[in-house]
Chains A and B, each alone.
Chain A
Amino acid sequence: MKPAPFAYTKARSVEHAVELAGRDGEARILAGGQSLIATLNMRLSRPTLLVDINGLDGLDGLALKDGAVEIGALVRHAQAGRSDIIAKNAPLIAKAIPHIGHPAIRNRGTIGGSIAFADPAAELPACLVALGGEVVIAGGRGERTVKADDFFTGLFETELGSDDVLKAIRVPAANAATRIGFAELARRHGDYALVGLAAAARAEGDGLADIRLAYFGVGATPVRARKAEAELARGALDDAVAALADDLDPPDDVQETGAVKRHLAGVLLRRVAKQLMEGRQ
Chain B
Amino acid sequence: MQIADDVPPGLTALDRPNSYIGRSVPRPNLARLAQGRAQYVSDVVLPRMAHAVFVRSPHAHARIKHVDTAAAKKAPSVIAVVTGAELAKVITPWVGVLTHLKGLKSAPQHAIAIDRACWQGEAVCAVVARTRAEAEDACELVEVEYEPLPAVTDPETALDPKTPLIQPELGDNLCFERKLDAGEVDKAFAESDAVVETTFMFGRHTGVCNEPRAVVADWNPGEQRLTVYHGTQAPHMMQNLFAKHLDLAEHQVRVLTKDVGGSFGIKVHTYADEMATVALSKLLKRPVKFVADRVESFVTDIHARDHRIKAKIGVKNDGTITAFEIDDLTGIGPYSVYPRTSGIEANQIVNLVGGPYTCMNYRALARVVFMNKNVMCQYRAVGHPIAVAVTEGLVELAAAKIGMDPVDLRRKNLFADDAYPAASAAGLKFEALSHHASTDKLVKMMDYPALRTEQQRLRGQGICRGIGFASFIEVTNPSAAFYGVGGAKISSQDGVTMKLDAQGSISCHTGVSEQGQGAEAVIAQVAATAFGVPMERVRVVMGDTDNTPYGGGTWASRAAGIGGEAAWQAGKALRQNVLTAAGSILQARPEALDIRNGIVIDADTGNERIGLDEVARVCYFRPDTLPPGFQAELMATRHYVPRAWPFAFTNGIQAAYLEVDIDTGFVTLIKHWCVEDCGTVINPQLVDEQIRGGVVQGIGAALFEHCLYDERGQLLNGNMADYLVPMAAEMPDIECGHVVSPTADSELGAKGAGEAGTAGAPASVMNAINDALRPLGAAPLTDMPFTPGKILRALGKV
- Could you list which residues of chain A lie within 8 angstroms of chain B, going by C-beta atoms? 1-5, 42-43, 185, 187-192, 194, 254-257, 259-260, 263-264, 267
Taken together as a complex, chains A and B put the C-alpha atoms of A267 and B664 apart, in Å, by: 7
B704, B708, B716: the one contacting A187 at CB < 8 Å is B704
Apart from A43-B136, A190-B729: 20 A-B pairs, beta carbons within 8 A: A2-B132, A4-B137, A4-B140, A5-B137, A42-B295, A42-B719, A185-B664, A185-B666, A187-B724, A188-B704, A188-B727, A189-B727, A189-B729, A190-B727, A191-B721, A192-B721, A254-B722, A260-B665, A263-B792, A264-B664
A255–B722 contact, CB under 8 A? yes
Which residues of chain A have C-beta atoms less than 8 A from B140's C-beta?
4
B730–A188 contact, CB under 8 A? yes
B666–A259 contact, CB under 8 A? no
Q: Closest CB-CB distance, A2 to chain B, in whole Å?
A: 4
Taken together as a complex, chains A and B put the C-alpha atoms of A267 and B791 apart, in Å, by: 15
Taken together as a complex, chains A and B put the C-alpha atoms of A264 and B792 apart, in Å, by: 10
Which residues of chain B have C-beta atoms less than 8 A from A260's C-beta?
665, 788-789, 792, 798
B716–A254 contact, CB under 8 A? yes
Taken together as a complex, chains A and B put the C-alpha atoms of A187 and B666 apart, in Å, by: 8
Chain A residue, CB-CB nearest to B793: A260
B666, B708, B797: the one contacting A263 at CB < 8 Å is B797
Q: A2-B133, A185-B666, A187-B704 are in contact. Are A257 and B294 (CB under 8 A)?
A: no
Q: Mark B684-725, 1 if CB is under 8 A from A, else 0.
A: 000000000000000000001000100000001101011010
Which residues of chain A have C-beta atoms less than 8 A from B788's C-beta?
185, 187, 194, 256, 260, 264
Question: B293 at the A/B interface (Cβ < 8 Å)?
Answer: yes
Question: B787 at the A/B interface (Cβ < 8 Å)?
Answer: yes
Which residues of chain A have C-beta atoms less than 8 A from B792's C-beta?
260, 263
Which 8 A-B pairs rank lowest in CB-CB distance, beginning with the nearest? A2-B133, A1-B293, A260-B789, A189-B729, A267-B663, A263-B798, A254-B717, A256-B789
Chain B residue, CB-CB nearest to A195: B664
B133–A256 contact, CB under 8 A? no
Q: A42-B295, A254-B708, A260-B789 are in contact. Are A191 and B664 (CB under 8 A)?
A: no
Which residues of chain B have C-beta atoms less than 8 A from A187's C-beta?
704, 724, 787-788
Q: Which of A43, A192, A255, A260 lies at the interface centre, i.e. has the most chain B CB atoms within 10 A of its CB?
A: A260
- Which residues of B, 780-798, contact A by the 8 Å Cβ criterion? 787-789, 792, 797-798
Chain A residue, CB-CB nearest to B133: A2
Which residues of chain B have C-beta atoms less than 8 A from A267's C-beta?
663-664
Which residues of chain A have C-beta atoms less than 8 A from B798's C-beta?
257, 259-260, 263
B295–A1 contact, CB under 8 A? yes
A257–B789 contact, CB under 8 A? yes
Taken together as a complex, chains A and B put the C-alpha atoms of A43 and B53 apart, in Å, by: 15
Taken together as a complex, chains A and B put the C-alpha atoms of A185 and B722 apart, in Å, by: 15
Taken together as a complex, chains A and B put the C-alpha atoms of A254 and B708 apart, in Å, by: 8
30 residue pairs bridging A and B, Cβ less than 8 Å apart? A1-B136, A1-B293, A2-B132, A4-B140, A42-B295, A42-B719, A185-B664, A185-B788, A187-B704, A187-B787, A188-B704, A188-B729, A189-B727, A189-B729, A190-B727, A191-B721, A192-B721, A254-B717, A255-B722, A256-B787, A256-B789, A257-B789, A260-B665, A260-B788, A260-B789, A260-B792, A260-B798, A263-B792, A263-B797, A267-B663
- Could you list which residues of chain B lie within 8 angstroms of chain A, going by C-beta atoms? 132-133, 136-137, 140, 293-295, 663-666, 704, 708, 716-717, 719, 721-722, 724, 726-727, 729-730, 787-789, 792, 797-798
Which residues of chain A have C-beta atoms less than 8 A from B136's C-beta?
1-2, 43
Which residues of chain B have C-beta atoms less than 8 A from A189's C-beta?
727, 729-730
Taken together as a complex, chains A and B put the C-alpha atoms of A256 and B722 apart, in Å, by: 11
Which residues of chain B have C-beta atoms less than 8 A from A3's C-beta?
133
Taken together as a complex, chains A and B put the C-alpha atoms of A257 and B716 apart, in Å, by: 14
Taken together as a complex, chains A and B put the C-alpha atoms of A254 and B792 apart, in Å, by: 17
Q: Closest CB-CB distance, A117 to chain B, in whole Å?
A: 14
Q: Closest CB-CB distance, B291 to chain A, in whole Å?
A: 10
Chain B residue, CB-CB nearest to A188: B727
Chain B residue, CB-CB nearest to A42: B295
B789–A188 contact, CB under 8 A? no
Which residues of chain B have C-beta atoms less than 8 A from A256's C-beta?
787-789
Chain A residue, CB-CB nearest to B727: A188
Taken together as a complex, chains A and B put the C-alpha atoms of A66 and B663 apart, in Å, by: 42
Taken together as a complex, chains A and B put the C-alpha atoms of A3 and B293 apart, in Å, by: 13
Which residues of chain A have C-beta atoms less than 8 A from B708's C-beta?
254
Taken together as a complex, chains A and B put the C-alpha atoms of A191 and B792 apart, in Å, by: 20
Which residues of chain A have C-beta atoms less than 8 A from B797's C-beta?
263
Q: Closest CB-CB distance, B766 to chain A, in whole Å?
A: 17
A1–B294 contact, CB under 8 A? yes
A188–B724 contact, CB under 8 A? yes
Which residues of chain A have C-beta atoms less than 8 A from B730's C-beta?
188-189
Chain B residue, CB-CB nearest to A185: B664
Chain B residue, CB-CB nearest to A4: B137
Taken together as a complex, chains A and B put the C-alpha atoms of A145 and B665 apart, in Å, by: 42
Q: Closest CB-CB distance, A133 to chain B, in whole Å?
A: 27
Taken together as a complex, chains A and B put the C-alpha atoms of A190 and B725 apart, in Å, by: 13
Which residues of chain A have C-beta atoms less than 8 A from B704's C-beta?
187-188
Taken together as a complex, chains A and B put the C-alpha atoms of A256 and B724 apart, in Å, by: 13
Q: Closest CB-CB distance, A116 to chain B, in whole Å?
A: 19
Which residues of chain B have C-beta atoms less than 8 A from A190's C-beta?
727, 729
Which residues of chain B have C-beta atoms less than 8 A from A255's C-beta?
722, 787
Q: Closest CB-CB distance, A33 to chain B, in whole Å?
A: 16
Taken together as a complex, chains A and B put the C-alpha atoms of A263 and B666 apart, in Å, by: 13
Chain B residue, CB-CB nearest to A271: B663
Q: Closest CB-CB distance, B99 to chain A, in whole Å?
A: 41
Taken together as a complex, chains A and B put the C-alpha atoms of A42 and B721 apart, in Å, by: 13
Which residues of chain B have C-beta atoms less than 8 A from A2's C-beta?
132-133, 136
Q: Closest CB-CB distance, A77 to chain B, in whole Å?
A: 17
Taken together as a complex, chains A and B put the C-alpha atoms of A227 and B727 apart, in Å, by: 38
Q: Closest CB-CB distance, A157 to chain B, in whole Å?
A: 20
Chain A residue, CB-CB nearest to B789: A260
Taken together as a complex, chains A and B put the C-alpha atoms of A260 and B722 apart, in Å, by: 17
Chain B residue, CB-CB nearest to A262: B798
Which residues of chain B have C-beta atoms less than 8 A from A192's C-beta?
721
Taken together as a complex, chains A and B put the C-alpha atoms of A257 and B790 apart, in Å, by: 10
Which residues of chain B have C-beta atoms less than 8 A from A254's C-beta?
708, 716-717, 722
Q: Which of B665, B717, B729, B788 lies at the interface centre, i.e. has the most chain A CB atoms within 10 A of its CB?
A: B788
Taken together as a complex, chains A and B put the C-alpha atoms of A254 and B716 apart, in Å, by: 7
Taken together as a complex, chains A and B put the C-alpha atoms of A265 and B666 apart, in Å, by: 14
Taken together as a complex, chains A and B put the C-alpha atoms of A162 and B526 apart, in Å, by: 66
Q: Closest CB-CB distance, A262 to chain B, in whole Å?
A: 8
Taken together as a complex, chains A and B put the C-alpha atoms of A190 and B721 apart, in Å, by: 10
Q: Closest CB-CB distance, B415 to chain A, in whole Å?
A: 39
